[in-house]
Amino acid sequence: MAYEAPLNDMAFALQSVADLSRLEGLEPFGNYDPELISPILEEANKLARDVLAPLNTVGDAHGAQLTDEGVKAAPGFADAYAQFRDGGWMGLSAPEEWGGQGLPKALALAVMEMFHAANMSFGLCPMLSFGAIEALIAHGTDEQKQTYLPNLVAGNWTGTMNLTEPQAGSDVGALKTKAIPNEDGSYAITGQKIYITWGDHDVAENIIHLVLARLPDAPEGSRGISLFIVPKMMVNADGSLGERNAVKCIGLEKKMGSHASPTCVMEYDGATGWLIGQENKGLACMFTMMNSARLNVGLEGVAVGEAAYQTAFDYAQERKQGKATGVDGPAPILHHADVRRTLTTMRARVAAARSICYACGVASDLAEAAPDEETRAAAKMREDLLTPIAKAWCTDMGVDVASLGVQIHGGMGFMNETLAGQLYRDSRIAPIYEGTNGIQAIDLVGRKLSGTNGESMRVMLGEVEATAASARATNDPQLVQIADRLRAGADALREASDWMLEAMKDRDQEKALAGATAYLALAGDVIGGHFLTRAAVAARGEEGSFRARQLALAGFFAETVLATAPGRVSGITDGGSPFLENSEALFGIA
| Residues with catalytic roles | 434
Euclidean distance between CA atoms 312 and 297, whole angstroms? 22
**What are the start-end ranges of the E strands in 109-223?**
157-162, 178-181, 187-197, 206-213
Contact 72, 63 (CB under 8 A): no
The residue type found at 462 is G
**β-bridge mates for residue 235, sequence order:** 241
Count CB neighbours of 577 within 10 A.
12
- Tell me how far the alpha carbon of residue 368 is from its chain's centroid: 20
- Decide: helix, strand or coil at residue 199: coil
Whether the CA torsion 363, 395, 77, 241 is positive or negative: it is positive
d(CA 526, CA 325): 37
**One-letter amino acid for residue 436 of the chain:** T
Q: Report the relative pairing of strands 187-197 and 263-276 from DSSP bridges.
A: antiparallel
Residues with Cβ within 8 Å of residue 590, at least 6 apart in sequence:
583, 584
**Half-sphere exposure at residue 557, Cβ-oriented, CA atoms within 13 angstroms:** 31
User: Could you give the CA distance from residue 222 to residue 228 in angstroms, rounded to a whole number?
Assistant: 15
Q: Where are the beta strands (DSSP E) in 284-394?
A: none
